[in-house]
Structure 1
Amino acid sequence: MLEVIFLGTGGIMPTRERNVPAIALRYNGEILLFDAGEGTVRQMNTAGLSPMKVDKIFITHFHGDHYLGLAALIQTMNLWNRERPLHIYGPKYTFEFVQNFLKTGFFRPGFDIHIHELGESRLKFNGYEVWSFGVEHGVPALGYVFKERDKRGKFLPEKLARYGLSGGPVLGKLEREGRIEWKGRIIHLEDVTGPRRRGVKVAYTGDTRPTERVRLFSEGADLLIHDATYLSPEHRGDSYHSTVGEACEVARRCSAKLLALFHRAFRYSYEEYLEGARFHCGDVNFLVPRDFDVLTHRAGKFDVRNLLEDGG
């Protein structure tokens, strides 16, 4: 099962209702963290998520609202006697920035921290991949894609019967090896299964102007989390952010199934922003996430609930 937990949905500075960016993605018991603005430890505690289950942190860029919670996260892990290594991924200068704050104050972590500077990369893990790609924000900055690996099709009883297969260890071997010899015949896995099932795809842009590269990497996403800081170009000015209308257009062009409008500027109330999104997005299936909203992927779509409203 895959869950996306919005720990902080605001932009630039925290408000009474929302914290700065941090998104937890929970997959098969593992928690991946995308950005870690100030207060992320508190947000995780409120959401019932343990920092000790985080082994990988992906930072989009080094503006304070996206990374200042890293030091507190690492110190919390150390306080709880963490032993497993922690991997931190980010754009150019990640090594320099992380090393600098690790030397601040009377603190040294008691576990290994591995720092990875990425360009356009494709990282392979157990059951999923994380892709990184450049975005346009005026400083070195990345977007990320979580892509669950495609799964084999289901075993089809009528095809199994055709080859005289009924289950048990022989099917386990076929699944592991992709082919077996059975009663003098070579049987391939695809001979007895249905179409492959596409893995879930979640794209997160971080802060960016709308770009063709964002569209390409987000193509066909089940969930696109796109910078939508402002409601109008006039409010944005010359900053390297996107408007709600621009984010909706990217989602429309890349055929995203669901768009999460992210990094809402503190000048907008939820109601004002939602009204603007309804005006701009038209036929796009969109969501204005709140802190502690949880998106759970079931049966090909995301269900939404809020941890605070639903009691956890």
Structure 2
Amino acid sequence: MLGIIRGTLMCMLFFTIQTHATDMKLVMLGTGTPNADPARSGPSVAVVVGGRSFVVDAGPGLVRRAAAAAANGIPALAPDKLDTAFLTHLHSDHTVGLPDLIFTSWVLERPMPLRLYGPPGTSAMAQHLAQAYRLDVDIRLNGLEPAMPEGHKVEVTEITPGIVLSGGDLTVEAIPVMHGSWKEAYGYKFTSGGKTIVISGDARPSSALTEAAKGVDILVHEVYSDAGFKRREPVWQNYHASFHTSASELAAIANEAKPKLLVLYHQLYWGTADEDLVREIHAAGYDGAVISAKDLEVFEP
């Protein structure tokens, strides 16, 4: 047994969870991109509600950032508590932390399998990781080291648009987004206690994401600098325009969606800075609250 439990293409997981309107937190575990910025881990965001953590994407550095958040007063992000995760898409910068999430959390005594939700291909990725680490798993289970017998396993649900998780007062909805030539990529909408958070993942502008974000408490959205874009070579401009969202495009999205707070992540600066991104969004006509996030910042709706 290599530890992969296949889910259906669409399922809803029900469990008991107590939530309150002030209980939801957004934790920026990683705000980075494929660029190896030592100040920013790879893209990963956690929504904490009812004493549980729900991780979106598994960029590099995920588990250590989660441990830092736990040390800073959010115990739901202790490594052994990381038991539910969602992938927006299967680009490497969003998934190279997946073996860390699976196996480090297990070694640090997560007792149950990781529940993993993601687009088609997620199951195959988890299966290959189980095969890659099979010798490690065998030694830990059958050698001298005490090991949780179930924690290395992964329960995969390959998703389609709509509600993918529901329990107690929490619902999680998968939102189809456009991300270049990826056939399926998703954002996620978390709703609990009358509060809502939408996380874009990597995406260019789309009506589905804008509609899902209307009136939310927090919209977490990727962005690239308009000024920096102008300095890029045409081949890269063509790529980024198809796969990502510019500051001016995000201003238009925010003007239509009207979130109470717009949080920027997966920022592509190209010689600009956080304050420049915020300035570009305001210059494009959006006058709402905008924060360009850094790793380990926490926001409450």
Q: TM-score interval w.r.t. the shorter chain?
A: 0.7 to 0.9
Matching residue within 210, 213, 217 for 2:208? 213
Aligned residue in 1 for 2:160: 119
Q: How far did residue 276 of structure 1 move?
A: 3.0
1:107 to 122, 136, 140: 136
Q: Percent identity?
A: 27
* Mapped partners of 2:269, 2:106: distance in 1: 33
Partner of 1:301: none
Name the structure 1 match of 2:252: 249
Question: In angstroms, what is the RMSD of aligned CA positions?
Answer: 1.9
Residue 271 of structure 1 deviates from its aligned partner by 4.1
- Partner of residue 142 from structure 1, selected from 171, 186, 202: 186
Q: Distance in 2 between matches of 1:55 and 1:97?
A: 17
* Corresponding residue SS for 2:156: strand
Gaps of 5+ in 1: 150-198, 298-312
Of the two structures, which has the highest relative contact order with CA contacts closer than 8 Å and spacing of 6 or more? 2
Say if 1:221 and 1:255, in contact at 8 Å, map to a contact too: yes
In structure 1, what is the Cα distance between the partners aligned to 2:269 and 2:287? Answer: 26
- Deviation, structure 1 residue 292: 1.2
Q: Using a 3 Å threshold, how does the CA distance of structure 1 residues 282 and 215 change in structure 2: closer, same or farther?
A: closer
Q: Which residue of 2 aligns with 1:51?
A: 79
Number of residue pairs the alignment of both structures matches: 248
**Which one of the candidate residues 76, 82, 91 is aligned to 2:110?**
82
Where structure 2 has 5 or more consecutive residues not aligned to the other structure, the ranges are 1-22, 71-76, 142-148
Q: Distance in 1 between matches of 2:275 and 2:170?
A: 36
Determine if the alignment matches structure 1 residue 25 to structure 2 residue 69: no
Asked if 1:226 is matched to 2:226, the reply is no
Does the residue aligned with 2:284 lie in a helix, a strand or coil? helix
Contact 2:118–2:159 (8 Å) recurs in 1? yes
What's the offset of the Cα at 1:281? 5.0
- Distance in 1 between the 2:31 and 2:100 partners? 19
Contact kept in structure 1, 2:87 and 2:94, CA below 8 Å: yes
Query: Cα–Cα, structure 1 residues 277 and 17, in superposed 2: closer, same or farther, change >3 Å?
Result: farther
What residue number does 1:182 align with?
none
Runs of 4+ in 1 over 4 A off after TM superposition: none
Q: Indicate the larger mover: 94-103 or 26-35.
A: 94-103
Alignment of 1:113-192 (within 5 A): 113-122=154-163, 123-137=165-179, 138-139=181-182, 140-148=184-192
CA distance in 1 between counterparts of 2:298 and 2:125 reads 31
| TM-score, with structure 1 as normaliser | 0.74
Q: Of 156, 172, 196, which residue of structure 2 is paired with 1:201?
A: 196
SS at match of 1:228: strand
- Of 103-112 and 254-263, the range deviating more from structure 2: 103-112
